[in-house]
Structures are given as C-alpha cells and as structure tokens.
Amino acid sequence: MNNQRKGLSALMITLSMTLVLSACGGGNNAASNDRTAANTPAEGGTVKLKVYAQHFDDDTKGPFDYAVAELKKEMPEVEIELDPAVQDGNQKLKTYAATGNMPDIYFTDWATLQTFAKSQNVEVLDNYEATTEYKNSLNPGVESRLIAPDGHVYAYPDTGIEFQVIYYNKTIFDEVGIATPIKTYDELAAAAGKLKAAGYVPMSIFAKEKWITSAFYNGLVTREDAAGFGALDEQGLTELPQAFVSAAEEMEKLQQAGLFDANATNTNYDQASSQFYQGRAGMFVNGQWEIYSSAEKLGDQVDWMYWPAKDEATYEASKYNIAGAGSPQGYAVSPASKNKETAVKVAAFLAAKSAEYKYTQLGSPIVSPKTDKPIASDVPVMMQRIADELLPNAKEYAKLLSNTQIQNAVNDNTQNMLVDGFTAEDFIANLNRTLSKENQ
Amino acid sequence: MNKYLGNKPALALFLLPALLLYSVILIYPVLQTVFRSFYDWDGLSTAAFAGLANYRELFNDPLLGTSLKNGALFALVLAVFQIGLGTILALVCANPRVRGRKLLKTAYFIPVVLSVTVVCQLWIAMYDPTNGLVNKLFDVLGIPYQQNWLVSPTQSIIAIAFVNAWQFMGYQFSLLYAGVKAVPEDYFEAATIDGCGKWRAHWHVTLPLMRETFKFCFTIAITSGIGAFVQMLIMTNGGPGTTNYTLTFMIYRYAFMESNYGYACAVSVLLVMISLVATVVINKVFDRGQHA
C-alpha cells in the first residue's frame, strides 16, 4: 500500500516536472520561427502585409488612411491588413514578439526598438535602397529620428522632432496684467502670483503622467545646456551637471511660487486641458501637437511662448534651443516577414505618405521627410509661427537619453518636485544615486 | 469508500487532468519565475545567467523599503477595517432583533460587485482637495483638517488602502457573517443564561469559535495588502514619484516599463516568499492554543 502510494506520487511528480522542464526548454528565438500567416501571397500576385499601427482617432486615422490610399495607387498588388495598436506601452507588440507572431510592419518607439534589436525582432534597414532614399529626403536636423545612436536604421519616421512649449491665454494675461513674453523665471513666478491672486490656476499640467513634469524640467535645463537629458547618458558622469542643478532649484522656486495646482500630480490630461480650455488656467504645458486643439478651442486667445531662463541675456541666447530630442521611431519591419523586401518598401512608403498628410493636410512642419506638395489647409497661426520663426532659427535640439533607468528616475523625481516638502536637494541626491549606479 | 480509494489507477486517471491544469497555470509559472530570477533577461532575448545578482541588487534597491512599508500599511488598513468592522457588522446582522438585516447585508456587498476602476474614480473625486466630499465633510463638521489626500507622501497610501478596504469589506463581511451563523446558538444562549451580557458572550463564545474564519479572513486581507496594485495604478500611478509603490508595482515597473524581466522575477519571488511567510505566521498564530 505504501509502495503503491509512493509510486503514484512519483508518477505525478514526474508528469509535472516533465511538463515544466519541457516548457522551460522551449526556446523563443523570434527570428527562427515561421510566422506572419497574413503575408502569404494570395492568388493573382497579391501580397498581404499585416501592419500594426495607431488608428484610434482623427490624428492617427487620417495619416494612416491617406498613406494606405496612396499605396493602393503606387503598389496595387499590396494589400494592407491593419492591426490597430493599443496604447499599452507596446505590451501587445512585445507579446507578439515573445510568441513569434510579429506583424510584417509595425510602428513603435525607441525603447521597444532597442529591445527588439537585441532579440532580433526588427530588421536592420541600413543596406536597403529605400533607406538611402529616405536619408536623402530628410529635413535638416532630424537625422537622429532615423539613425539610432548605435548607427543603425531600424524604422522609418514620419514625424520630425517634437518638443514642448508653454501655451498661455492672452485674454487672461491681459486681464491680470501680465506682460508677454515672459523671459525670466522671476517673471514667471510673478505671473504665477498674479494669476493665483485672481483665482486662476497659473499653469495647468497633467502631472499624473510623469513624462510631462520631466519635459517641463527639460525645458528649463535646455536654457543652459542645449543637449538636455542627453547630457546624462555619459559614461563616468556620476553627479548632475550644474545646468541640471540650477534647473532643479528654479523648478522648486516656481513650485513654491504656486505655479502648479496643489493637485497637479493627480491631474490627467483631460482635466488639465479642460482647465486651460475653459479659461480656468492661465498657462498650459504640452507638446507642439497641442496647437491644433488649442487653436480650435480658444481661437486667437491662445499663443505659445519660449521657455524662460534665469535672465534676459540667457533667454535671448537660448530661446532657439529646442526642448525636444529626436529618438528613432516609426514604421519598422519584422525580419520574419515572408515578403521582407516588399515590407521594407511599404514601410518607407507609409512613413513618407503619413508625413505628407501631416504637412499638406495639417500644415505641420514637424515631419521627417520633405514633401514637394503644397500645404492644402489653413494652418493655425501658432503653427505658422513655429514654421517661420522657430524652426528656421533652431540652434540645437536636445539629445536623446537612451538609458531607461535614468529616464525613469528623472520622471519620478520631477513629479515629486511638484509636491510640497520635496526639495531640490532631495532631487539632486536621488538623481546622483541613479547616475552613480548607471554611469559607472 | 475504501473500495474507491483502493482503486489507484482510477484515482490517478481522475486526478491527472486537475493535476496537469494546476501544474500549467500555477506550478509552471512559479517555477519559471524562480528560474528566471537568476538571469539577466529582457523578456525577449536569450537570458544570461546572473547568479544572485538580481537579489543583491534588490536588497540595495531604495524602492524595496518603500514598497515593503507600503505593503505593510496597506495590509494593516485592510485587516483593521475589513475584519474589525466586518466582524461588528456580522454580529449585528446575525442578531434576529435587528430590523432591516437583509437590506444591510445587501448594501454591504454592493461595492464588491462594482468595477475597481469605477470605485477608484469615485474616490478620486471624493478625495479632491478643493471640491472633494471628504474635505467638505470635515469643513461642514467644523474640523480644520483639509488634506491633499492623494498627493501627500505620508497619507496617500492610507487613503488608497481605505478605498480597497471600503470596497471589499462586504466580501469579508459575508465570510464573517457565515462564520457567526455557523456557531451553534446553544453556546451563546448558555452564556447569556450564565449571566453574560450580549457583547461579552460574543467576545468569550462566538469570536473564539470563529477562529478558522478569522484565519482565512486575515490570510486574504494580509496577502491582498502585500500584493496591492490596481488602486495605486488607477488613483496615483504609484506617485507622486514612487511614494505609493508596492512590491507588485515594482514588478510592473521593472518588467513592463524597463523590460528587466529577470529582476522583476526576483521581486516576484520575494513577494511570493513574503506572502507564504505571512500565511504560515497567521496559521501559527490562530492555531496556537487550539489543541491545548
């Protein structure tokens, strides 16, 4: 009886362990698997390509649908099957990679491209003819959007280098007597005081998302170090450079001056933007892409301003430093695609046509490839200012920070800067600890 | 009965599907997590063996202290509020002389069936420092205690834990109510005949006889607190900064934000170990003196 019980137990354990170990040994070499069933050439020479791209609102549907319609004219044999991307930090795409189900073409960012490059889930596009053509078509200054820090090309970008600006409500500023442009931190702090006294939120910010507090801080840093966060990605750098220390101290002063709402770190985009659009906030910080919404909601009441600096001389010297860094992103190709050559051509085509739509239909000059077609729509005045005033004079773009751990530490600590009791010293100590760990 | 249990091949045959299922959905992931915790792995590339490096890094990680403290606070709030209040309400509702008992029992359980997201959004609005109900309530009562509930680095974790405690109190209440009803009324009546007051009889008779129920309730409350995640994600996204991090939030950060799956596995192993230790301790505490 005892032996029988032991035998039965042994059988059960053996079965369990066999199952476990066989699964443990199951390799996951993404490149070696046969997948992408959607791209099997069908009858009549049609090539089906599965494309994973954002397609959930007018801003994302417009460019993609336009590009696909143009593709039909240029490459009628190609049939696109859209797999709409979800806003999940690319987890769905990573799951596709882990399970060997990568789409032929996918749109993704630099963080994911780095992981995919290591795991061979992205085709290196360096030697394709389409890449040479794409390089030649780039607008000046946006090379970092196409060519990764390691020198390779992994994706074809449509947008150019995006950046953050400060929007302000001209009517509210006139009402409370704030002169524009605000050039110095002291002027910004004084403006915050006036707005607060008049019952307005001085600057609405959706600081529940950490990237925006980080972007605000980067705006201050780039007044004195045009490279911005890129300067932190340097081997051997274990302490924050002076520009970062000064920016942290200024951010603390601005917070203490009441620039941000007390509940800012718990405010999301919808809440922050509605504060601004309903005339309850004097300023709003976001990327240049907000121009379309703000022009639509506030008309000529709204404008954007350059980032203030410690004094007027620094303001004038640094106003054309762009507070945005170009990181590689765009349409990438899976190495496992059965129609890889076609997929590469289509990826480049989709990116170029998406950019063309953004330029011609939306009037956005923030695109990577040049287009020879004219703008076919009314361009908001604020965007026209960017095209005429900022971009032609742009001195330097911020540099890319590729280290995720340092970026996360910056995100966490800049969000903390909006909370009472968290000081610039805390910020500096925390960042120095991360830099020591990551850059040594 | 012995005849059935003696038929080993049949026993094995019937157990096999359940055992396989259990292995696939529980044992395999746990073993894989332990295995992967010794590797430097981004979730996609070939993993490189790292020995104990992930664990060494984990014990020097400043987030660990924050997460352990928050987990302990969360668990404490759940245990005190859910089990403390749940027990009182269960005893009240078990009293046949209390009117509207059915209505109360249903009312306590309603938050349990609501979506966590809905409940969190509701409480975000209630915690709003300017227009929220909680601050308004203090204002109306004349108590000068206006707080920025979800922004304060010291209070926000307790405020968030309270949301979880409020929502799932009804679940604990239903378990405790079943426990109270399982105690034979004769014991309670005997105690009252011997001169015990109602609450004294509950203290000396009902509650000790609910030992097994309490053991289960505490296990659920403490392990839920240690592994809390959803409420932080929805209400503060772990912030400001990392002040509302728990071990599960650490796993989420390292695995899904930093693609550092090997390290996230090490955090997972620690989480499982702490939960196991907590379960064992709770069992020991409640078993103590039971067989004396």
Domains and CATH numbers, chain A: 18-161+326-371 (3.40.190.10), 164-323+397-438 (3.40.190.10)
Average pLDDT over every residue of A256-261: 96
Instruction: With a cut of 60, say whether residue A31 has pLDDT above it.
Output: no
User: What is the residue-level pLDDT of chain B in tens, covering all 292 positions?
Assistant: 566 778 888 889 999 999 999 889 999 999 999 999 999 999 999 999 999 999 999 999 999 999 999 999 999 999 999 999 999 999 999 988 888 888 999 999 999 999 999 999 999 999 999 889 999 999 999 999 989 999 988 899 999 999 999 999 999 999 999 999 999 988 888 888 888 888 888 888 899 999 999 999 999 999 999 999 999 999 999 989 999 999 999 999 999 988 999 999 999 999 999 999 999 999 999 988 665 4
Residues of chain B contacting A98 with CB distance shorter than 8 Å: 43-44
B182: its two tokens: 């399982």
In chain B, count of helices (H) and strands (E)?
17, 2
pLDDT of residue A9: 52
Question: Is B202's Cβ below 8 Å from some Cβ in A?
Answer: no
Question: Is B147's Cβ below 8 Å from some Cβ in A?
Answer: no
pLDDT of residue A436: 94
Q: Looking at the domain covering B64-288, what would its CATH class be?
A: mainly alpha
B62: its two tokens: 């400043």
A327: its two tokens: 């990181």
Q: What is the residue-wise DSSP string for B63-122?
A: HHHHHHHHHHHHHHHHIIIIIIIHHHHHHHHH-TTSTTHHHHHHHHHHHHHS-HHHHHHH
Residues of chain B contacting A116 with CB distance shorter than 8 Å: 44
Average pLDDT over every residue of A220-242: 94
CB-defined contacts A:B, below 8 A: 108
Query: Cβ contacts of residue A199 below 8 Å, gap of 6+?
Result: none
User: Å from A394 to nearest chain B CA?
Assistant: 32
DSSP letter for B242, please.
T
Distance of alpha carbon A321 from alpha carbon A164, whole angstroms: 11
- Percent of the residues in chain A that have a pLDDT greater than 90, as a whole number: 79
Residues of chain A contacting B27 with CB distance shorter than 8 Å: 16, 20
Please report, to the nearest 10 degrees, the dihedral formed by the alpha carbons of residues A261, A267, A270, A275 taken in order.
-10
Q: Quick: pLDDT tens for A126-137.
A: 999 999 999 999
ipTM tops the 0.85 cut = no
First vs last C-alpha separation in chain B: 32
Distance of alpha carbon B277 from alpha carbon B275, whole angstroms: 5
Instruction: With a cut of 60, say whether residue A86 has pLDDT above it.
Output: yes
Mark yes or no for CB contact B151/A30 under 8 Å. Answer: no
pLDDT of residue A98: 92
pLDDT of residue A16: 46
pLDDT level of residue A38 (50, 70, 90 thresholds): very low
DSSP letter for B45, please.
S
DSSP letter for A240, please.
-
pLDDT of residue A24: 42
Instruction: With a cut of 70, say whether residue A42 has pLDDT above it.
Output: no
- Asked whether A87 and A20 are in contact (CB, 8 A), the reply is no
pLDDT of residue A4: 55
Average pLDDT over every residue of A159-184: 96
First vs last C-alpha separation in chain A: 63
Average pLDDT over every residue of A167-181: 96
Mark yes or no for CB contact B44/A416 under 8 Å. Answer: no
Q: What is the residue-wise DSSP string for A18-47?
A: HHHHHHHT----GGGS---GGGS--GGG-E
Question: Is B61's Cβ below 8 Å from some Cβ in A?
Answer: no
User: Å from B80 to nearest chain A CA?
Assistant: 27
Going from N- to C-terminal start, the domains of chain B cover 64-288
To test the contact with chain A by mutation, choose from B30, B44, B261 the residue with the greatest count of A C-beta atoms within 10 A, namely B44
A376/B160: higher pLDDT? B160
DSSP letter for A367, please.
B
DSSP letter for A284, please.
E
pLDDT level of residue A7 (50, 70, 90 thresholds): low
Which of A417, A416, A413 shows the shortest CA–CA distance to A432?
A: A413
Which residue type occupies A257? Answer: A
A200-203 long-range contacts (CB < 8 A, ≥24 apart) are: A200/A172, A200/A176, A200/A280, A200/A281, A200/A282, A201/A261, A201/A275, A201/A280, A201/A281, A201/A282, A202/A258, A202/A259, A202/A260, A202/A281, A202/A282, A202/A283, A203/A166, A203/A259, A203/A260, A203/A281, A203/A282, A203/A283, A203/A284, A203/A285
Distance of alpha carbon B126 from alpha carbon B149, whole angstroms: 10
Distance of alpha carbon A230 from alpha carbon A398, whole angstroms: 7
